[in-house]
Amino acid sequence: LIHKADLQVIAHPASKAYLDENPELSFHYEGFANDDNATVLDDEPSVSTNATQSSLAGVYDVNATGGEDDDYRFVYHGSALTIGEAAQHIASLEIASEAVYGEAALQLEATATSGLPVIFVSSDPDVLEVNGTQLKIRGAGSAVITARQGGSANFNSAAEVNATVLIHKA
């Protein structure tokens, strides 16, 4: 009686960023007898993951399955697909560059490519005070308004974007 030889089917680790397409998964064999190679197999295994393009950042199993041959018994070794945070940036910051003391609050608008909310900070709250998406004019002078998006489990933080606003005396 001749037993089938063990053939190791070893899945390779892979990685991608959140929302990127899944990379092509791969594996290799160890343990062919004589001068055999994959061309002698009746049915080659395949490798897959349950992670999709929109799967959240984290680690997902990569498994080789299937495959058949009269001479080999497949021994499967899984691996992992690591999904990391995606890059983002602040796509726009809209704000008036100057105003006059005593005028109504200025509107702030900014968007991050991730769709996550943007927060605003004033370098001088005695001139311009941030209140959500509005700047209350508190005095004459200038202030730098900074737009920030700190990221999430799926997105890295965005680079800050700044704008200087000049408030003229009434």
How many angstroms separate the CA atoms of 134 and 117, rounded? Answer: 14
**3-class SS at 138?**
coil
Question: For residue 107, what pLDDT is reported?
Answer: 97
Checking if the pLDDT of 2 tops 90, the result is no
How many angstroms separate the CA atoms of 164 and 167, rounded? Answer: 10
Q: How confident is the model at residue 36 (pLDDT cuts 50, 70, 90)?
A: very high
DSSP state of 57: S
How many angstroms separate the CA atoms of 106 and 10, rounded? Answer: 60
How many angstroms separate the CA atoms of 96 and 43, rounded? Answer: 67
**3-class SS at 61?**
strand
| Mean pLDDT, all residues of the chain | 97
Question: For residue 1, what pLDDT is reported?
Answer: 84
- Mean pLDDT for 16-20 is 97
pLDDT tens per residue, range 90-137: 999 999 999 999 999 999 999 999 999 999 999 999 999 999 999 999
Q: Are 120 and 95 in contact (CB under 8 A)?
A: no
Question: For residue 124, what pLDDT is reported?
Answer: 98
- Mean pLDDT for 140-152 is 98
Single-letter code of the amino acid located at 126 = D
